[in-house]
Amino acid sequence: FDSKRAEQNVASAKIAAAKSDEERKELIASVQGVKEALKAAEEEMQGIMKDWRELMVQVPNVPDMSVPEGDSDADNQEVRQWGELPKFDFEPKSHSELLLLHDMADYERGAKVAGFRGYFLKNDGARLVWALEQFVQSRFAQKDFTPMIVPSMVRREPFMGTGYLPQSEEDLYKTQDGDYLAGTAEVATMGYYMEEILDKGQLPIKFFAFSPCFRREAGSHGKDTKGIFRIHEFVKYEQVVLCEAKHEESVKWHEEITANSETLLQELKLPYHVVVNCGGDLGLGQVKKYDIEAWMPSEMKYRETHSSSYFHDFQTRRLNIRYRDDEGVVRYVHSLNNTALAMPRILCQIVENNQLADGSITIPDVLRAYMGKDVIQQK
């Protein structure tokens, strides 16, 4: 391709320097074959580059040395625990039963209106979600995060940039216009500075982002079919951080955004543990990931409430988000994200861990001012 282009350039120079019309015509005739060969080479190159790009977007990031080996979430390793597991002198009810008992949810009408995994939250179910939203908003108002409400319907490019496409297309809802419904506020938030160059003085940039979220749960057939733990539509507050292109900066902010979420669970007095995900349980772009899982008494195990990851420049290269350092060198920023709070999922752990023998539910202390009551009792 390059040799044909060079040959064309030489021929063009000769044509421009031709001393007679006859010489010019001969040169033009001779270069016609070069032009046709170059056009064919360009078409071939376009196909090659298209195939190359399709392969390159499937190449995963390199995990950190501290990431344990393993094939699935069964190989994740516990890092720490917090809180005492509740001890009941009765058979604890599931969150699904408790929400029905107190008329806090309606699954039957939810399915009638919205299909499988549809739900309505009502009465104290709705109030509890609103209380949780006020709680998490108040806590992050005290931190140096920029609050932001972001789009749920997003173009293809931010999904490609964050690594959700093309791998996770089957789990996304797609509109007839070719846009997608996001399953996390991370996607739109990361697209905010797409194709921009930032100043080093702007870093770190920390967003506290909110959006309604949508997931098809295509690979979850038969899992968590009762209640509201695994649903198609929910709301989520997300921490997203952009920092300097230094590994130690990524590690520092990863620990901080993880600690932010742990503090929320501690204030809610929910027992939890933190696991470091093994290599086989990392997403395409994740260098390292922690899952925070809170205790579910009805299942006698921890279930995920938060997912905290850093990516180095995997996402920012794809999104072309850069910054100019002190020497004027343009570099790709590093990106991180973690759940702040996802609702209504966290209701599952709250109602199960705070249930009493008579079926009533004690409201966590930090939510009582927002709820206007201490206990949810049967009417």
Q: Is 309 a catalytic residue?
A: no
Cα Rg of the chain, angstroms:
27
User: Which residue out of 157, 169, 304, 360 is catalytically annotated?
Assistant: 304
DSSP β-ladder status, 288-296 and 173-174: unpaired
Beta bridge mates, 208: 147, 239
Residues making up the binding site: 184, 215-217, 238, 304-307, 337
> Who's near 53: CB < 8 A, 6+ residues apart?
none
Q: Please write down the long-range contacts of 108-116, taking CB distance under 8 Å and 24 or more positions apart.
A: 114/232, 114/233
User: Which residue out of 24, 156, 230, 324 is catalytically annotated?
Assistant: 230
SS3 (DSSP) at 36: helix
User: Which residue out of 117, 215, 318, 322 is catalytically annotated?
Assistant: 215
The phi, psi pair for 180, rounded to 5°, reads -130, 155
User: Which residue out of 152, 250, 261, 307 is catalytically annotated?
Assistant: 307
Residues making up the binding site for L-serine: 184, 215, 238, 337
Q: Is 345 a catalytic residue?
A: yes
Cis (ω within 30 of 0) for the bond into 344? yes
Q: Is 304 a catalytic residue?
A: yes
User: What would the two tokens of residue 241 be?
Assistant: 């951080």
- Sole residue written with tokens 């080996």: 69
Contact 232, 114 (CB under 8 A): yes
Residues making up the binding site for ATP: 215-217, 304-307
Q: Is 139 a catalytic residue?
A: no
> Who's near 150: CB < 8 A, 6+ residues apart?
185, 188, 189, 192, 209, 210, 211
Query: Is the torsion defined by CA of 161, 166, 167, 169 positive or negative?
Result: positive
Give 153: exposed, middle or buried? Use CB within 10 Å, 0-12, 13-18, 19+.
middle
- The residues carrying an active-site annotation are 215, 230, 304, 307, 345
